[in-house]
């Protein structure tokens, strides 16, 4: 008898464990499919060249429409349009040192604000380690001219000594082409302007021992008015004026020349895929509160989409009971970190106690305020907002290796179930 009872208990435990696993596998498959679709080459890194970002926005809004989600009253067709300037590299991208062609994205990146440059010149090496004051920098800068291509050594120590933020250095360089060797891995960005100079960041290991001549052919184009869209959709609740918002930015860096794109699988096809899954879940399980889903654009260009949304809210921000922003949600092997946890200790405690109860994630880390994703302007406007990012994986970030294949989705179904459980409790 005892034997039978043990068998029965073991059997039902196994059945519920298998159910949980099936549920996790189903969620992972749905999310994985969205990540592959959002990183497909035809979306071109969801940036500013070849309608890549527009294709991504159409994918997201048609998913919302197919699920039966609706627009919020003040917005037509789920789209909130706005515009900003952005520098792009739609075509030529070629760098050759001592006759050897380098690989874009792998061996080098062009500074995001760089201007067009097409020349073959000798390389002049300038060691900036001895430049320690702003005055010395002004003097050194005056010696640069476009008679050669400059290889600038030790820009980091020069920036540190003179107090120039290293990201501002390209805007301080006179017209011409500058090669900046990089010890660390290459990370690309987006710029809303062009500089007089063309800057090429090259990995140390891609430079020959004695670089003497370079050919640089880079084509830049400043788009003065790129029209972007935030996609906003909702599932009305029985308390229509109370909102829970899930947000994620779907834009990424796009293309650097005609053959190189940044897939942005972890950043942030993963977070976008998570809100697409949550929309699917809540479409089948309507709530008391209205569930709102916002796919932001313009994040990589400086949180522009969420800033625009907060300045032009299509529904009263005061109605938002909680906003959960998801950015980098591809591998939670080491759990998640919650930004703004210290601002909302009660909600954070609820989140961690649900996790302790159900063991969704190995750890939930608490963090304070940070202006590092789209939750920021909401919390500055008084909206209770958490930003969750996952911890784990290879750490590919703003590079050509952030591909769908590299995203493990370890523990990511657990994040989805935790968020669902959490929002159920928030509405009680």
The reply to whether 327 sits near Zn ion by the rule CB under 5 A is yes
Binding range to Zn ion, per CB under 5 A, among 216-224, 263-271, 375-383, 417-425: 263-271
The reply to whether 374 sits near Zn ion by the rule CB under 5 A is no
Q: Which residues pair with 388 in a beta bridge?
A: 326, 338
Binding range to Zn ion, per CB under 5 A, among 71-79, 238-246, 266-274, 285-293: 266-274
The reply to whether 268 sits near Zn ion by the rule CB under 5 A is yes
Q: Which string of x and - marks every residue 175-214 that binds Zn ion (by CB under 5 A)?
A: ----------------------------------------
CB of 83 to Zn ion, least distance (A): 21
Rg (CA), the chain: 24
Q: Rounded distance, CA 201 to CA 97, Å?
A: 13
CB of 407 to Zn ion, least distance (A): 14
CB of 140 to Zn ion, least distance (A): 36
Q: Rounded distance, CA 33 to CA 273, Å?
A: 8
* Burial of 65: CB neighbours in 10 Å, binned 0-12, 13-18, 19+: middle
Q: Rounded distance, CA 129 to CA 325, Å?
A: 42
The reply to whether 267 sits near Zn ion by the rule CB under 5 A is yes
Binding range to Zn ion, per CB under 5 A, among 178-186, 325-333, 339-347, 374-382: 325-333
Residue 77 DSSP one-character state: T
Bridge-based pairing of strands 197-203 and 176-182 is: parallel
Q: Rounded distance, CA 391 to CA 331, Å?
A: 6
Number of residues that bind Zn ion (CB under 5 A): 3
Contact 204, 65 (CB under 8 A): no
**Token pair listed for 337:** 């970190």
**Token pair listed for 341:** 């946890």
CB of 227 to Zn ion, least distance (A): 21
Residue 327 or 331: the one with the smaller Cβ distance to Zn ion is 327
Give the per-residue SS3 of 194-206: CCCEEEEEEEHHH
The reply to whether 71 sits near Zn ion by the rule CB under 5 A is no
Q: Rounded distance, CA 225 to CA 191, Å?
A: 13
Residue 329 or 426: the one with the smaller Cβ distance to Zn ion is 329
Contact 369, 379 (CB under 8 A): yes
Residue 162 or 189: the one with the smaller Cβ distance to Zn ion is 189
Per the listing, tokens 């529904």 go with 315
**Token pair listed for 22:** 């099936």
Binding range to Zn ion, per CB under 5 A, among 43-51, 133-141, 276-284, 326-334: 326-334
The reply to whether 402 sits near Zn ion by the rule CB under 5 A is no
CB of 101 to Zn ion, least distance (A): 31
Binding range to Zn ion, per CB under 5 A, among 37-45, 75-83, 226-234, 323-331: 323-331
**Which parts of 382-401 interact with Zn ion (CB under 5 A)?**
none
Residue 327 or 399: the one with the smaller Cβ distance to Zn ion is 327
**Token pair listed for 288:** 């008391």
CB of 299 to Zn ion, least distance (A): 6
Q: Rounded distance, CA 387 to CA 364, Å?
A: 12
Binding range to Zn ion, per CB under 5 A, among 163-171, 188-196, 260-268, 406-414: 260-268
Residue 260 or 268: the one with the smaller Cβ distance to Zn ion is 268
- Cα–Cα distances in angstroms (integers) from residue 82 to residues 50, 86, 109, 298, in the given order: 19, 13, 28, 10
Binding range to Zn ion, per CB under 5 A, among 41-49, 76-84, 319-327, 364-372: 319-327
Residue 199 or 275: the one with the smaller Cβ distance to Zn ion is 275
Phi, psi of 70 (to 5 degrees): -120, 165
CB of 268 to Zn ion, least distance (A): 4
Residue 281 or 397: the one with the smaller Cβ distance to Zn ion is 397
CB of 327 to Zn ion, least distance (A): 4
Q: Rounded distance, CA 27 to CA 13, Å?
A: 21
CB of 233 to Zn ion, least distance (A): 20
The H or E element spanning position 117 is: strand 117-127
The reply to whether 107 sits near Zn ion by the rule CB under 5 A is no
Interaction site with Zn ion (CB under 5 A): 267-268, 327
């Amino acid at each position: 008898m005892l034997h039978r009872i043990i068998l029965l208990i073991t059997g039902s435990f196994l059945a519920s464990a298998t159910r949980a696993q099936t549920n996790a596998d189903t969620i992972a498959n749905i999310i994985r499919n969205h990540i592959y679709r959002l990183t497909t080459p035809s979306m071109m890194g969801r940036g500013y060249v070849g309608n890549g970002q527009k294709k991504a926005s159409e994918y997201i809004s048609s998913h919302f429409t197919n699920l039966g989600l609706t627009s919020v009253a003040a917005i037509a067709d789920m789209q909130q349009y706005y515009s900003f300037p952005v520098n792009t590299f739609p075509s030529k991208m070629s760098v050759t040192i001592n006759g050897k062609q380098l690989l874009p994205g792998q061996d080098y990146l062009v500074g995001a604000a760089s201007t067009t440059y097409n020349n073959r010149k000798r390389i002049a090496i300038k060691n900036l380690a001895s430049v320690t004051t702003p005055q010395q920098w002004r003097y050194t800068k005056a010696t640069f001219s476009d008679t050669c291509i400059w290889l600038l050594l030790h820009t980091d120590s020069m920036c540190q000594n003179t107090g120039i933020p290293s990201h501002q250095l390209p805007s301080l360089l006179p017209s011409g082409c500058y090669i900046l060797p990089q010890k660390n891995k290459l990370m690309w960005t987006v710029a809303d302007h062009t500089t007089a100079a063309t800057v090429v960041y090259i990995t140390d290991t891609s430079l020959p021992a004695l670089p003497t001549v370079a050919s640089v052919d880079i084509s830049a184009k400043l788009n003065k008015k790129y029209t972007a869209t935030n996609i906003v959709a909702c599932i009305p609740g029985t308390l229509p004026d109370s909102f829970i918002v899930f947000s994620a930015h779907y834009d990424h860096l796009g293309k650097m020349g005609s053959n190189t794109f940044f897939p942005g699988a972890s950043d942030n096809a993963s977070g976008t895929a998570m809100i697409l899954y949550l929309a699917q879940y809540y479409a089948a399980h309507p709530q008391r509160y209205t569930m709102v889903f916002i796919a932001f654009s313009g994040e990589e260009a400086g949180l522009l989409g969420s800033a625009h949304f907060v300045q032009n809210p299509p529904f009263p921000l005061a109605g938002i009971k909680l906003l959960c922003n998801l950015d980098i949600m591809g591998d939670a092997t080491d759990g998640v970190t919650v930004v703004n946890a210290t601002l909302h200790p009660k909600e954070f405690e609820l989140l961690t106690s649900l996790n302790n109860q159900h063991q969704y994630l190995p750890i939930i880390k608490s963090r304070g305020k940070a202006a590092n994703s789209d939750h920021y302007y909401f919390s500055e406007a008084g909206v209770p907002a958490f930003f969750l990012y996952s911890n784990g994986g290879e750490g590919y970030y703003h590079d050509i290796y952030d591909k769908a294949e590299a995203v493990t989705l370890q523990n990511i179904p657990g994040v989805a179930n935790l968020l669902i459980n959490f929002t159920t409790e928030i509405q009680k």
